[in-house]
Amino acid sequence: MAKCDVCGKGVTFGNKVSHSHRRSNRPFKPNVMRVKAVVNGTPKHIYVCTRCLRSGKVQRAV
């Protein structure tokens, strides 16, 4: 579910590095919010990352 419906940004993976520098895998999840937005002229609930919200790629429905 952690995927933006506008830009397609999703989960990426990297390493969690402990104090002793041992490494294990961890997910980096985008900050995704459920937003009521105007899609094709009608209001609809979609999942949008905060980067798309901030940059104005999504028009929120009132």
Of 4, 40, 10, which Cα lies nearest the Cα of 59? 40
pTM, 2 dp? 0.80
Contact partners, residue 61, CB within 8 Å, separation at least 6? 36, 37, 38, 43, 44
Residue 62 confidence (pLDDT) = 83
Is residue 9 within 8 A of residue 51, CB to CB? The reply is: yes
Using an 8 Å Cβ cutoff, are 30 and 53 in contact? no
User: Residue 6 domain-assigned?
Assistant: no
Domain-located, residue 45: yes
Judged against a pLDDT cut of 90, whether residue 31 lies above it is answered with: yes
Mean pLDDT of 26-35: 96
Please indicate, yes or no, if residue 35 is contained in any of the structural domains: yes
Q: Alpha helix locations (H) across the chain?
A: 50-55
Give the range of the structural domain holding residue 33, as residue numbers without chain letter: 12-55
Number of domains in the chain: 1
Residue 25, in any domain of the structure: yes
